[in-house]
């Protein structure tokens, strides 16, 4: 009877493991699907901005990006939260919207493998003729190298953890800031959920959106006109 009991117990244990594995697969499948969130109607000026937030492996370790996305949405900023494997299709989507005039400001945020995918997404958008205003990586891994540029790229990493500084390749254009956030209490798995980090990310995004909303300063009619050079004055009209 004992062997039979052990066999039954083993079968029950295996069934439990399979059930949990199936739940994990289903959770990952749901999380991988990009989730677009429309802007709140209280901030129409942000309608031409879109923030793409890329989760890392399995999606279950980057749920702080969902919190950031919800906070941005509450401010009226449209967001899409997706797994990092979707970066290429998201770049196509952003490019289409940009060229149609629906988007003017594109911002990218990624955690872990999602941060590592940011340079690839930036490069594809640049190839499609689409600028990226801001990209923020949270503890990027795997020796991330930035070949082409966002207007500004901020890499928040934990100096004594698995994350590391992002390297700029030759010919890189844009501004790259590597910021060691040791001392904030954040770890690689928790950096996206850390309140101080979330506030920093949202503040950087808000600054870009604010600049994009600011109207151009009107020209001063009393300002002196630039003097023409002597060569330009002497050149005959054509």
pLDDT in tens, 116-157: 999 999 999 999 999 999 999 999 988 788 888 789 999 999
* 59 found inside a domain: yes
| 61 contact partners, CB below 8 Å, separation of at least 6 | 55, 111, 112, 189
How far apart, in whole angstroms, are the C-alpha atoms of residue 170 and residue 149? Answer: 11
Q: Are 176 and 155 in contact (CB under 8 A)?
A: yes
Segment 70-102, tens digit of pLDDT:
999 999 999 999 999 999 999 999 999 999 999
How far apart, in whole angstroms, are the C-alpha atoms of residue 117 and residue 55? Answer: 10
Vertex 195, ends 83 and 159: CA angle to 5°? 75
Q: Are 108 and 132 in contact (CB under 8 A)?
A: yes
How much is the pTM?
Answer: 0.73
* 85 found inside a domain: yes
Q: Which residue has tokens 């309608």?
A: 47
* 15 found inside a domain: no
Band of residue 54 on the pLDDT scale cut at 50, 70, 90: very high
For the chain, the straight-line distance linking the first and the last C-alpha, in angstroms and rounded, comes to 106
Q: Which long-range contacts (CB under 8 A, 24 or more apart) does 91-100 make?
A: 91/121, 91/124, 91/125, 91/128, 91/130, 92/124, 92/128, 94/50, 94/52, 94/125, 94/130, 95/125, 95/128, 95/129, 95/130, 97/50, 98/130, 99/129, 99/130
Here the tokens at position 181 are 């956030």
* 13 found inside a domain: no
* 7 found inside a domain: no
* 170 found inside a domain: yes
How far apart, in whole angstroms, are the C-alpha atoms of residue 86 and residue 114? Answer: 10
How far apart, in whole angstroms, are the C-alpha atoms of residue 163 and residue 186? Answer: 12
* 227 found inside a domain: no
Residues in the chain, total: 238
pLDDT of 161 reads: 85
Residue 167 lies in domain: 47-213
What are φ and ψ of residue 53, in 5° steps? -110, 120
Here the tokens at position 227 are 């003097």
* 226 found inside a domain: no
Segment 13-39, tens digit of pLDDT:
445 445 444 444 334 443 444 555 444
What DSSP state is assigned to residue 173? -
CATH of the domain at 66: 3.40.50.1820
Give the DSSP per-residue string, 78-108: -EEEEEGGGHHHHHHHHHHHHHTTS-SEEEE
Domain total of the chain: 1
pLDDT of 79 reads: 97
């Amino acid at each position: 009877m004992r062997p039979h009991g052990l066999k039954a117990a083993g079968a029950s244990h295996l069934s439990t493991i399979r059930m949990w594995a199936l739940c994990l697969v289903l959770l990952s499948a749901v999380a991988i699907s990009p989730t677009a969130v429309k802007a709140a109607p209280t901030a129409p000026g942000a309608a031409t901005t879109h923030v793409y937030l890329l989760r890392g492996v399995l999606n279950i370790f980057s749920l702080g990006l969902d919190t950031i996305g919800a906070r941005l949405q509450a401010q009226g900023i449209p967001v899409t939260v997706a797994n990092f494997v979707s970066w290429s299709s998201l770049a196509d989507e952003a490019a289409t919207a940009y060229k149609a005039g629906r988007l003017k400001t594109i911002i990218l945020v990624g955690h872990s493998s999602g941060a590592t995918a940011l340079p690839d997404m930036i490069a594809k958008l640049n190839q499609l003729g689409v600028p990226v205003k801001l990209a923020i990586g949270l503890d990027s891994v795997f020796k991330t190298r930035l070949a082409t540029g966002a207007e500004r790229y901020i890499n928040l990493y934990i100096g004594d953890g698995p994350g590391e500084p992002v390297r700029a390749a030759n010919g890189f254009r844009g501004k790259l800031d590597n910021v060691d956030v040791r001392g904030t209490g954040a770890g690689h798995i928790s950096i996206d959920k850390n309140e101080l980090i979330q506030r920093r990310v949202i503040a950087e995004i808000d600054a870009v959106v604010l600049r994009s909303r600011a109207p151009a300063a009107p020209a001063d009619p009393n300002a002196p006109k630039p003097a023409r050079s002597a060569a330009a004055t002497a050149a005959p009209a054509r």
